[in-house]
Amino acid sequence: MSVSAEKRKPVRIWVDGCFDLMHFGHFNALRQAKAMGDYLVVGVHSDAEIEHHKGPTVMKEDERYAAVAACKWVDEVVPNAPYLTSLEWMDKYNCDYCVHGDDITTMADGTDCYQVVKDAGRYRECKRTQDISTTELVGRMLLMTKDHHKRSSFSGSSISAVNTAELGTFSTGGSKTKPDTKISHFLPTSRKIVQFSEGREPKEGDKVIYVDGTFDLFHTGHIEFLKRAKQMGDYLLVGIHDDQTVNAVKGVNYPLMNLHERVLSVLACRYVDEVVIGAPYSVSDQVLEKVYKVDLVVHGNTPSLNDADGEDPYKLAKERNIYVEIDNPQNSVTTEAIIERIITHRKLFEERQRRKEQKALLEKEAEKAEKAAKAAAAASQ
């Protein structure tokens, strides 16, 4: 038998990280890593490990494990992975290569977390996604103003009592050393949408399920809902409302992530087959008939806000007797609950930001030194 005819050994890839407040930057890194091999193993650090090296997490470790497991490019999740990546740990899971973004990550003492793997020739690099980070999202939450929250439909929450002037200057920009938080203007290319989309259409006889929502700060509450909705049929179509619709209906400074960011996050979920970008807030005949023939419209059992004209957004689906409510899991994470965590523990996160900025400066210097050393080595050859 020729070598080409023999069955090739699958290439196993190792990726590790915090994966706090999972966003499309995380998903894009996992997508790129999976493309470098056949089987993707993702190690997720514990809360204690992250707090020691970076500061407190927003999401609890069980929530972070679940968010990574829901990514369609991930084959296996390893909880409580060590912050320092070792060859022994990679070998334990039979991984050939470790993949990380093109920015240096260091331990609390400044040591490169991947130096041992690099020296062994088992390190591969993927492109870091610009203009998004967990710290950037935290900054957006802290910059939400008291005036906006007073107008919130979530009246009586602890958020409405917060004065923005008391929040300090917790913010970051598109890179780890850029100091300003801004409203996101991230615009994906058609290529990026295609990379995240499966492009699969429902087969004849498939039961098509439609759900819609904002899916802001895409989290485990959303994931569990999408999982339960998918179990009710064969094909899950997700409508995602545009920024103007969300702002008009909720009457607050939402969404925190723009439409394009939210679309990519939802597309990365393994339970989702297709999305409607900028879906109308009220389920219309166009949604039910023109995209695909929808068999069932599914919604959680929490009250939904009426449309801007005062109408029930699910009126048409109810009239056609294709509307079903499913129970939300107990203690389910919500977008507002995440914001409340940030507000409640804002001083801790401000300290985390200061630590991260100092660490980022050291990493930037180390990155410059590494590039200079490579350039010098190349020049001497």
Which letter does DSSP use for residue 167 in this model? G
Residue 334 CB-half CA count within 13 A? 11
pLDDT in tens, 7-37: 789 999 999 999 998 988 899 999 999 999 9
- What sign has the CA pseudo-torsion 11, 263, 267, 62? positive
Given strand 235-240, what is the order of strands in its sheet?
274-277, 235-240, 208-213, 296-300, 323-326
**Residue 109 has which token pair?**
């003492």
Query: What's the helix, strand, coil split of the chain in %, to 5?
Result: 40, 15, 45
* Dihedral, 354, 103, 97, 35 alpha carbons, nearest 10: 110
Residues whose CB is less than 8 angstroms from the CB of residue 231 and which lie 6 or more positions away in sequence, other chains included: none
pLDDT 10s digits, 150-181: 334 444 444 444 443 443 333 333 343 343 43
| Integer angstrom CA distances of residue 282 from 100, 254, 295, 334 | 42, 18, 17, 22
- Give the Cβ contact number of residue 26 at 10 Å: 26
pLDDT 10s digits, 69-117: 999 999 999 999 998 898 999 999 999 999 998 766 666 666 778 889 9
pLDDT < 70 stretches in the chain:
1-6, 103-110, 131, 135, 142-188, 251-252, 349-357, 359-360, 363
Distance (Å, whole) CA 131 – CA 259: 14
Which pLDDT score, from 0 to 100, does residue 199 have?
A: 80
Contacts of 58 (CB under 8 A, 6+ apart): 20, 21, 134, 138, 338, 341, 342, 349
Cis status, amide bond into 303, omega within 30 of 0: no
Find the helix or strand (DSSP H, E) in which 64 lies: helix 61-69
